[in-house]
Each structure stands twice: as structure tokens, then as C-alpha cells.
């Protein structure tokens, strides 16, 4: 894949992460990169203090650095900022972070030499993946600690993974036939100043959230038929009168999924229930709203992925090197918080459908806890409790992170975004939601089968059939953990959505 700086799409980034692609910059980007680097080289030899080029950093910005010490300044910056802790970032996310940094440098406003971009490209192509601890960034002045660990490998320090083996960064480069770089003026700062760690984690959360919305639509349609819910609340006219695109889309997909269900037709007349509970009736309103929020967040992340977020910036046309604040990850923090709220709400309404299906007073004649032998068997009793636990955990995790600013760096960096852990927590929330939806699928499939000889719609029949390939119908109680894990894998892989076509 060839990257055109400033024009990379969410679909491109999804493919890069999912397929492990090793993109390269469009060669046309080199001219702009070279012009910016020349301006920095000129400033480094001049007498005027230029932040990050011939000065210290942060609170030490007033300290002028001699021209002969600028290379050591950049190396010291990287080594001193390698203060990350915690488990390493997953390799696919580290690679995505590297791609985002490459895209940012490719805009020609960071002042690095082409050699820096070339090494990043070559590391991606060779599979040299820095070991990046996931804790240590507050999301302004960029993701300093995580990006320092990435950059450390580029200068022959730190640690990297190559071919599944963790080794010193210098060894990984040598084994891949690559050489470390000696950082020039501003280059270390350009590499560690930026939002690429936060953005990579938020993008991963966004991609998973979109996939989970699709799963929620399919599985909720299955649940609606299992409890003999009404399709009247899905009428297009209802949703057109409100006008929200996500709500309209969810209702349309659910109508299509349930079309042709004999279960639905069996209770159109003579049903004593006037209305279904909200978890059935309001699925389009809730998940549609979540989908709209997720897509808004995605647009923010697409802009951020293409942005230049280091400091200072090299404005080639005017010949200026100017300090600003693009490193502040507030847009990413807001996007991550939005996605977190959406994940929590999708799980909250799904969990209520699980509770509905296992409750004999609410499930419209389904067996208690969906077991054919209640009393002796507990069926899905505790599977529902598990979903309640995960739903509650996601509610706690959904509390906003951007409001939790704290001053750092001797009060020079006195307002920060907390985007890094705001984005990182999305993976845990998506894992939790995957299990909630998996248990809902198990319960809904069991409920559909309990309506035999009545059949659900053809698309939903295919969903149940795909579920049964990996998880047999529950009869007498059995060890349920493998069933939940198998159903979770179907949710994560998109197999149930694919079966529904």
C-alpha cells in the first residue's frame, strides 16, 4: 500500500492493521520532507534559539544547546523518555502506531530527514516491531514515553520483536539487515512528540466497535424472535419521523433480518401483550444512537491519523519553525470517551435481553433459564450473571478520561488529555461486550429452537446453523465456559454477521 500523506482513509487503516500490511510513503512526499529538513538544518547552525532544535525541552526550553551537541541532545531525549511501564502493546497496534507516525512525518512539516522515514518503512517491511510498554502517557506533549520506546529501537537501543523473538533493538535491526540512525536536529522530538499511540489504540477500538454494532443488530433480531417480540416498532415510518441515520439503519437491517419468520407470523393475532420491554422495542434507538456516535468518533480519528501532531512545526512556505500545541490529544480523548460510552450502552441493552430470555415470567413461555429440565438443571442462569458483571464493569470503564487532567513537567504541561489510557481501555471494553453478545447469541439460539416446529426467518436460520457448528444445543447442564468462548470467537470473527448475509 502506498500512503498519500493527508489522504489515508479509515478503510486503509483497517486493512493495514487487519492484514499486517507494510505501507510506504508516496515518493512524491519526499520533496516536502527534504525542504523541511533543510530549514531545520539551517536553524541548527544559526544563532537564534529554536525550540527542540538547539534548546532543551519542556521546562528546560530556555537552555540553549551548542551546535556540536544537538545530536547528543536528541539521543538523550529518547533515552530519558523511555519510562514506559506495563505490558507491551500488541504487535499489530505497535505497527499501526508506526504507520501513523510515518504518515505524520510524510506531511513535510516535522523537519526530519528522509532517512528517518525510510527506516520506519524498512522496519515495517522487515517485521521489526519495537516493544512498547502501554503505560506512561498522559496524552500531551504527545505520547512521549510510548513513542520514545519505538524510537529507541531506531537508534539501536530498547527492545524489539522479530520473527516472534524478543531481542535487543540493535540485534533486531542487524538481523533484518538494517542500521540504526543517528538522530539529527529536532528528529528525536519529531518522533516522540505526537498522538500516534493514543490514535492507534483509539482506531483499534473504533474498528472493533463497528464490528460489534453489526453483531448487535443480528443477535438482537434473533433475541426479538426468540421471545416472540413485535416487529411493529421497526416500521420505517417510525424512524423516519425521528430522522437519526443510525436509528433508521438499525431498524431497516432488523426488518430485513426478520422478514419471513414463521415465529413472528404466529403471534400477530391474539397476542395479549401490548408492548415489548424497551430492550426489544428500543434497540434501533439505542444501538442506532451508539452507531452514530461511533461514526462521529471515527471521523475525528481519521482526521487525527492524517494530522501533523509534533512540535515545533516547520512551515516550509513561510520559512518558519513555530511552536504550537498540536501534540495535545484532546480530540482523540473525546473520541475514545465517545466510543466507550457507545460500547457500554450496546452492552447494557444486550444484557437486558439476556435477562429477559432466561426469566420465565417475561420470556413468553420459554423454559426457565432456557434449559429443557429446569430444577435439576440451571441452564443459562449463571451465564446471565456473567453478562451482568461485564456490563457493570463496562459502565465503570466508560467514565470519561478527558476530564481527569493533571499538571506535569513542573507545571509547564499543565493540562493534559489522558487520551492514552482512554483509548487503551477500549480493548478491554470490546472484549467484555463480545462476551455479552456471545451469551445473548447462545440464549437467543436456544430460544429459537424452543419455538419448534415454528421457524425463524431464513437469514436468522443461517445464524443459528452457524452457531450450532461450534456450539451444540444445551441439553442437560454441562461445562459452559468453552461454549461461551466458542460463541465469543464467532462474534469477534464476524461469522454470525456473515451467516446472516
Q: Could you give the residue numbers annotated as active site?
A: 51
Q: What is the DSSP string of 387-447?
A: HHHHHHHHHHHTS-STT----BTTTTB-----HHHHHHHHHHHHHHHHHHHHHHHHHHHHH
Q: State how far Cα 16 lies from the chain centre.
A: 14
Residue 353, burial from CB neighbour count under 10 angstroms (0-12, 13-18, 19+): buried
Instruction: Determine the 3-state secondary structure of 315 from DSSP.
Output: strand
- The angle subtended at Cα 305 by Cα 304 and Cα 310, nearest 5°, is 70
Phi, psi dihedrals of residue 26, rounded to the nearest 5°: -60, 125
The Cα–Cα gap between 231 and 379 comes to 28
Pairing type for strands 133-135 and 165-168 reads unpaired
- Any idea what the Cα angle at residue 470 is, between residues 466 and 471, rounded to 5°? 100
Q: State residue 127 phi and psi, 5-degree precision.
A: 80, 25
Contact 137, 143 (CB under 8 A): yes
Amino acid at each position: 500500500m502506498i500512503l498519500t500523506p493527508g489522504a489515508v482513509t479509515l478503510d486503509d487503516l483497517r486493512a493495514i492493521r487487519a492484514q499486517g500490511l507494510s505501507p510506504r510513503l508516496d515518493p512524491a512526499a519526499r520533496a516536502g520532507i527534504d525542504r523541511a529538513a533543510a530549514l531545520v538544518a539551517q536553524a541548527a547552525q544559526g544563532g537564534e534559539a529554536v525550540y527542540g532544535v538547539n534548546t532543551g525541552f519542556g521546562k528546560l526550553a530556555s537552555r540553549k544547546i551548542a551546535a556540536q551537541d544537538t545530536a547528543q541532545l536528541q539521543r538523550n531525549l529518547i533515552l530519558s523518555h523511555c519510562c514506559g511501564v506495563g505490558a507491551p502493546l500488541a504487535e499489530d497496534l505497535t505497527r499501526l502506531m508506526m504507520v501513523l507516525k510515518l504518515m505524520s512525518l510524510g506531511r513535510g512539516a516535522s523537519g526530519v530527514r528522509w532517512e528517518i522515514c525510510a527506516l520506519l518503512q524498512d522496519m515495517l517491511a522487515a517485521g521489526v516491531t519495537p516493544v512498547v510498554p502501554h503505560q506512561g502517557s498522559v496524552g500531551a506533549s504527545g505520547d512521549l514515553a510510548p513513542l520514545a520506546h519505538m524510537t529507541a529501537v531506531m537508534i539501536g537501543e530498547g527492545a524489539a520483536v522479530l520473527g516472534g523473538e524478543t531481542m535487543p533493538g540493535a540485534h533486531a535491526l542487524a538481523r533484518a539487515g538494517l542500521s540504526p540512525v543517528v538522530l539529527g536536529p529536532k528528529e528525536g522530538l519529531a518522533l516522540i512528540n505526537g498522538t500516534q499511540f493514543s490514535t492507534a489504540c483509539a482506531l483499534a477500538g473504533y474498528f472493533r466497535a463497528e464490528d460489534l454494532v453489526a453483531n448487535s443488530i443480528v443477535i438482537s433480531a434473533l433475541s426479538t424472535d426468540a421471545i416472540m417480540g413485535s416487529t411493529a416498532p421497526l416500521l420505517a415510518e417510525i424512524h423516519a419521523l425521528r430522522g437519526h441515520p443510525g436509528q433508521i439503519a438499525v431498524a431497516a437491517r432488523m426488518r430485513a433480518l426478520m422478514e419471513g419468520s414463521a415465529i413472528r407470523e404466529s403471534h400477530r393475532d391474539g397476542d395479549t401483550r401490548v408492548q415489548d420491554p424497551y430492550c426489544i422495542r428500543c434497540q434501533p434507538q439505542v444501538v442506532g444512537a451508539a452507531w452514530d456516535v461511533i461514526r462521529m468518533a471515527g471521523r475525528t480519528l481519521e482526521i487525527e491519523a492524517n494530522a501533523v501532531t509534533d512540535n515545533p512545526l516547520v512551515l516550509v512556505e513561510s520559512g518558519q519553525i513555530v511552536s504550537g500545541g498540536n501534540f495535545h490529544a484532546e480530540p482523540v480523548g473525546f473520541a475514545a470517551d465517545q466510543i466507550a460510552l457507545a460500547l457500554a450502552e450496546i452492552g447494557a441493552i444486550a444484557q437486558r435481553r439476556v435477562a429477559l430470555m432466561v426469566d420465565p415470567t417475561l420470556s413468553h413461555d420459554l423454559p426457565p433459564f432456557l434449559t429443557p429440565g429446569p430444577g435439576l438443571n440451571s441452564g443459562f442462569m449463571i451465564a446471565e450473571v456473567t453478562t451482568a458483571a461485564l456490563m457493570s464493569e463496562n459502565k465503570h470503564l466508560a467514565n470519561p478520561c478527558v476530564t481527569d487532567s493533571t499538571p506535569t513537567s513542573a507545571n509547564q504541561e499543565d493540562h493534559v488529555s489522558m487520551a492514552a489510557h482512554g483509548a487503551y481501555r477500549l480493548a478491554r471494553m470490546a472484549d467484555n461486550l463480545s462476551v455479552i453478545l456471545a451469551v445473548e447469541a447462545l440464549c437467543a439460539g436456544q430460544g429459537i429452537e424452543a419455538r419448534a416446529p415454528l421457524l425463524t426467518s431464513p437469514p436468522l436460520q443461517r445464524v443459528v446453523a452457524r452457531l450450532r457448528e461450534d456450539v451444540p444445543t444445551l441439553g442437560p447442564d454441562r461445562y459452559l465456559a468453552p461454549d461461551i468462548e466458542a460463541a465469543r470467537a464467532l462474534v469477534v470473527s464476524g461469522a454470525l454477521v456473515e451467516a446472516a448475509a
